[in-house]
């Protein structure tokens, strides 16, 4: 999908925004201990982005949203997968 296709697909934008809200809210519910074990993950920015979306949805810059989708989410997926694997392996 291109940025042009994305910006013209209101349903997809709504779905992406909603999923980012859920991820941010879930981040807020993680324990401080877990977050402290993984200081390289930018927990504050993840939760903060959720707040930005919730309080300023109609002002969301689609280019910023697209940049996050393309450049940040793939890296975050790798980080989270590693955290989950490590946590399962340690039994925490």
Q: Where are the domains of the chain?
A: 3-90
Per-residue pLDDT at 73 exceeds 70: yes
Tokens standing for residue 1: 């999908």
Looking at the annotation, which residues are catalytic?
50, 55
Nearest to 16 by CA among 67, 79, 81: 67
- Average pLDDT (72-87) is 95
Tokens standing for residue 61: 């810059």
pLDDT, position 92: 62
- Average pLDDT (2-10) is 97
- 18-71 pLDDT, tens digit each: 999 999 999 999 999 999 999 999 999 998 888 788 776 567 889 989 999 999
Tokens standing for residue 52: 């930005």
pLDDT, position 30: 96
User: What pTM did the predictor assign?
Assistant: 0.80
pLDDT, position 54: 75
Helix, strand, coil percentages, rounded to 5, for the chain: 85, 0, 15
Half-sphere exposure of 78 (CA within 13 A, CB side): 5
């Amino acid at each position: 999908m291109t940025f042009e296709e994305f910006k013209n697909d209101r349903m997809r934008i709504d779905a992406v925004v909603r999923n980012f809200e859920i991820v941010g809210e879930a981040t807020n519910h993680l324990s401080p201990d877990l977050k402290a074990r993984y200081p390289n993950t930018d927990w504050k920015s993840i939760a903060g982005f959720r707040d930005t979306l919730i309080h300023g949805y109609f002002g969301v810059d689609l280019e910023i949203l697209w940049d996050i989708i393309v450049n940040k989410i793939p890296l975050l997926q790798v980080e989270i997968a590693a955290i989950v694997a490590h946590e399962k392996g340690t039994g925490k």
